[in-house]
Structure 1
Amino acid sequence: MPDPAANTGFFFNPTDPEFRRDPYPVYRKLRDEHPLLPGPLSSWVVSRYDDVEFLLRDRRLGKDLGKSQFFAQPAGAPDEEPPPFLGLGMDGWDGNLFKLLDPPDHTTLRSLVAAPFTPAAVDTLIKSVTAVVDELLVDLPPRFDAMELLGAMVPVRVLGDMMGIPRDDQKLFVEWSTEIARLLELGAPPPEDLAAASQRAVAECTEYFVRALEERQGGDGTDLMSTLLRVADEIDGLTVHHVAAMCVLLIVPGLDTFANLIGNAVVLLAQHPDVLNRLAGDPGLGDDVLDEVLRLEPPTHASWRVVNEPIDLHGQTMQTGDVVLLMLAAANRDERTFGAPDTLSLGAHGRKHLSFGRGIHYCLGDNLSRLMAKEALIGLARRCGSVELEGDEVDLKPGLWLRGPARLPVTVTARVS
């Protein structure tokens, strides 16, 4: 395992409140002086674009945390006593879930859910996504919470309707997603009550899907849960519990990260009224706007991997069992790759952000997330001549790598046609 004390006097502490408020000066220091740094949680921290992109594709890295000691370490100062990670351990649903994230299980399960998220399949959802956005933005009040109205509701309506989850039940998933996101955060262990809440959310959400799937078995429904069941019937060894785990992975992390994406996007549009106006006049700029949001303020700042075979980088060796933190947000602002990397510049960059990853773990929901976010931002720009934030500082959610507003009250004025 890497030793955080073995570096040249710089300890990367993601629990530092100042880092949480503004991580980008630290990311610059990492890129410039410590491109491969022994970091928190006995991990390696990688921050340059070319290195992060290379390692995202490297098959010597996996995602089964059961092959590492990561769960036994806390984030924070090196001399802190290590409590169990998140209070969850690796012997329950969470441990089984992570074991599904490497081939061959990963390959089988990804093929199970890939079809509904191809570009062609997502294109068929444009009208329904636009209808959801229009429904949420009709009679828009002059003051509202963008996280509540758009961040939470757009994805749960779209994904919930796709999966056949009744509208009355969809609000449950907004609550569960916040709790379960802590499990996927890989950060400092929360207080005991929050760890218990995460455990309950995992159990309740999984139980909900098991029940819903059992009710659909043998049926001819067209919702996504029914479709997944029929596909799973043709794959040896897959059970209802496997499909339930995939349903949890599809909807829960997606809800929380999408909410972060929308919140970060609204903050940037409020800070750049010229971009808001350009988007209102030319919705075709939606992809460019979204790419810059994802590059500048991604919803997830780091992606983790486990070393399955030793890898040499920058004169050091990452050993089997080590955990690697691939700093997506740092790589997205690498001066070696992007000109004026801290500036919002539409269509100015030849290389793409890494916020959805690369390789076999590339975000399966990329196409749908883009569609939902693009339609939400275009809908907002068409209706609002201005968007102003309330207060000088945005109240961020707690956590380390998942980054977005906890709440985002905004004041808007109607756009004059």
Structure 2
Amino acid sequence: MSKQQTSFDKAGIAAWFAAYSDDMHRDPYPFYRYLLEQEPVLHLEERWTWIVSRFEDVSRVLKDPLFVREYRNAVPENQEMPSVSAEWKPVDGMLNNWMLFRDAPAHTRLRGLVSHAFTPRTMERLKPVIQEIADFLADGMAEQSRPDLIASYAFTLPVIVIADLLGVPSEDRALFRNWSHAFAKVLEGVDQSPQYVEQTIRATNEISAYFKDLIAQRRTSPREDMISDLLAAQEEQSDVLTEQEMIATCVLLLVAGHETTVNLIGNAVRLLLSEPGELARLSERPKLAATAVEEALRYESPVQMTGRIASADVEIGGRTIRRGQFVQVMLGAANRDAAQFAEPDRFDIARQPNRHLAFATGAHFCLGAPLARLEGEIALRTLASRFPNMRLTDDKPDWQPNILFRGHRTLPVLL
């Protein structure tokens, strides 16, 4: 589907959600504009799925308790649940322990046990730590003739931060890249090839074994990290994480705390370098780093969509979504809704107000949003200060082939 195409048939739309399309992913915004203007609540009958794109409707679905994450909470108790193959059970078990896919009260419990790691007090403590990391990485970039901003900076910064929070030794950080990308593909839910299944199962087994071993080490030799804190809580509380829940939570924090922030930083830098004068504007007014982060989150949302299941018949936008039907809410489209944002297709690093939905909303509002914002702000301010003349070496973005996460594989720059 080309950038110039303004009409889309249902077969083409269904294909977009069933398989990766390089053309569509390169520029999904004409498609989103079509959804917003022509099909804001679209039913794909053959997929038993609704596509919701307008800001008001997306916000409603995310906040309404009638839309749930767990299929068993959306259908009658006597209805048979979908089965999984024996080989896929380790992956399914991991995902079932992610708070991301749970409803209250399990979601509330899991979220509450790790929320202390993302409080304002913790963020204040992390500021100098993140700044030191950003400065160190910028020093490394300065020694390269043509650095890849993703590999040298955007990927490395959040990996170091989340690894340090969890207590992962520095020499093990490199292991996380392939593991994280594997689970990013799981969340996308498009690839079902034998190779994908094999890679996912292997990544699940490897990362589970890794964190099981690290947890065992912290039981005998606690340190100042999140795993040690969670283990200490087991000594004081009756409601604690099981070992499987703790392993799954560590994996979720790794993936969510790194994959999306890499995209945030990379997308923000490319946008700043693509818009004449915006990097200079940020260099002259460093305080704009905070609003620049918010605008990058809105304009090129790191997470493009998320899903819910209707637990009752619900009317949205004049259409009735039936109990048990899946709803795909398009965060990337909602963040370009002209009914919510003036000139939605214009990138403005000083935009205010900016009530975007990049971190979702409601009960599942991103737990790590304060950390992502802090990392993004420090990253952009540091780069603008150190490299005010930075520029792209190629105008053609190198996008990750993933319809759920929007970010770059590489971003070569000249300093």
Cα distance change, pair 399–126 in 1 and its aligned pair in 2 (3 A): same
Q: Deviations over 1:314-367 (max 9, x none)?
A: 232212221111101100010111111100123334241100011110000001
Is the 1:261–1:298 contact (alpha carbons within 8 Å) kept by the matching residues of 2? yes
Give 2:3's aligned residue. none
Shift of 1:266: 1.4
* SS state at 2:277 partner: helix
Which one scores higher on RCO, CA 8 angstroms, separation ≥ 6?
Answer: 2
Q: Deviations over 1:255-297 (max 9, x none)?
A: 1111111111111011124221122222211111001100100
Cα distance change, pair 157–374 in 1 and its aligned pair in 2 (3 A): same
1:120 correspondence with 2:126 = no
- Once the two structures are superposed, the pairs formed by residues 8-407 of structure 1 within 5 Å of their partners are 9-11=9-11, 12=13, 13-14=15-16, 15-39=20-44, 41-65=47-71, 88=88, 92-97=92-97, 101-139=102-140, 140=142, 141-186=144-189, 188-217=190-219, 219-233=221-235, 234-236=237-239, 238-407=241-410
Amino acid at match of 1:115: H
Q: Please give the alpha-carbon distance, in whole angstroms, between the structure 2 residues aligned to 1:319 and 1:235.
A: 39
Amino acid at match of 2:67: L
Cα distance change, pair 93–122 in 1 and its aligned pair in 2 (3 A): same
Q: Please give the alpha-carbon distance, in whole angstroms, between the structure 1 residues aligned to 2:397 and 2:72.
A: 36
Q: Please give the alpha-carbon distance, in whole angstroms, between the structure 1 residues aligned to 2:396 and 2:74.
A: 38
* SS state at 1:92 partner: helix
Amino acid at match of 1:205: I
Q: Deviations over 1:24-50 (max 9, x none)?
A: 011011011111112484321110011
Q: Please give the alpha-carbon distance, in whole angstroms, between the structure 2 residues aligned to 1:29 and 1:260.
A: 25
Cα distance change, pair 169–370 in 1 and its aligned pair in 2 (3 A): same
Give the % identical residues.
33
Cα distance change, pair 45–19 in 1 and its aligned pair in 2 (3 A): same
Q: CA RMSD in A?
A: 2.3
Is the 1:68–1:321 contact (alpha carbons within 8 Å) kept by the matching residues of 2? yes
Q: Please give the alpha-carbon distance, in whole angstroms, between the structure 1 residues aligned to 2:222 and 2:409.
A: 40
Cα distance change, pair 214–346 in 1 and its aligned pair in 2 (3 A): same
Give 2:79's aligned residue. none
Shift of 1:184: 1.2
Cα distance change, pair 122–24 in 1 and its aligned pair in 2 (3 A): same
TM-score under structure 2 length normalisation: 0.88
Shift of 1:404: 0.8
Is the 1:306–1:324 contact (alpha carbons within 8 Å) kept by the matching residues of 2? yes
Bigger shift: residues 235-244 or 251-260 = 235-244
Gaps of 5+ in 2: 1-7, 76-83
